[in-house]
Amino acid sequence: MRVLITGGAGFIGSHLADAYIARGDEVFCIDDLSTGSIENIAHLKEHPRFHYAIDTVQNQPVTAELVDVCDVVFHLAAAVGVKLIVESPVRTIETNVHCTEVILALANKKKKKVLIASTSEVYGLSEQVPFREDGNLVMGATTKGRWSYACSKAIDEFLALAYWREKKLPTIVVRLFNTVGPRQTGQYGMVIPTFVKQALAGRPITVYGDGKQTRCFGYVGDVVGALVRLMAHTDATGQVFNIGSNEEITILEVAERVKELTRSASEVIFVPYDEAYEEGFEDMPRRVPDITKISQLVGFKPEMKLDGILEKVIEYYSGR
């Protein structure tokens, strides 16, 4: 099979490329390196079944050629990370919405199957925890820039599902919940690589807010396995799936666990949201997925526990 991965030099995209190459498939990726890194695919560059283009998905002639030669498309390219979203809202909205428009329109010409990566952010301020795919999405006010990302990804979802219903383009939407592992950068606010790098360097470990907010961290290997199985399953078409772990933990507990596993003398300090991001910043107090749907369809079960994930990230950054 020939697989196109947009954002293929990104954290998740590069692991997905590894998985398909290991299976014997041919992988094409496109990435403008705005949040991805050529380092992530350096080990694949000489592989005869791996091809890459350093370009934006918005360059339609290049993207059209890649879509044409491939059998399926994973659309992972997006503006990601709370820090980037708060600092560059225009780029976030335009990148997320327009790139998805381009991919769906090009894929539709020859009915190539497309998986669109969305986010747990779309659940917004919903209190219906654990979040179910058919639950309500509760967005914050438009005056809060933080919600522009959630809204842009919700539009991506609406568009992908509309292409399926109206034009019969086979599409799948996945909502990823805090995927973590080696190669993830802390540059745009990703919490685990940030904590690990701070701990290894002996710097203060910065917990935003009161640290009582909870998250569930899914290992990238588990997530990639789920993506591959969903793409291969005919019954996944036209549906939305949560992917992630349901092992809930507070951010403060994550910081303390990182400190313990790295044997770091770093102090854990608290930074107010207003200081970390912007005045009036709103966070999601809990972010827990209901993974019943994907478990029933493809047998997905998170295998890697949080300590195992942290050890892999610590090993990755220790080696750097």
Active site residues: 149
Is residue 45 within 8 A of residue 21, CB to CB? The reply is no
CA atoms within 13 A on the CB side of 306: 19
Q: What is the DSSP letter of 30?
A: E
- Token output for 138: 């509760």
User: What is the rounded CA–CA span in Å between residue 314 and residue 74?
Assistant: 28
Handedness of CA 148, 149, 154, 159 (dihedral sign): positive
User: What is the rounded CA–CA span in Å between residue 33 and residue 26?
Assistant: 21
User: What is the rounded CA–CA span in Å between residue 229 and residue 285?
Assistant: 31
| Three-class secondary structure of residue 204 per DSSP | coil
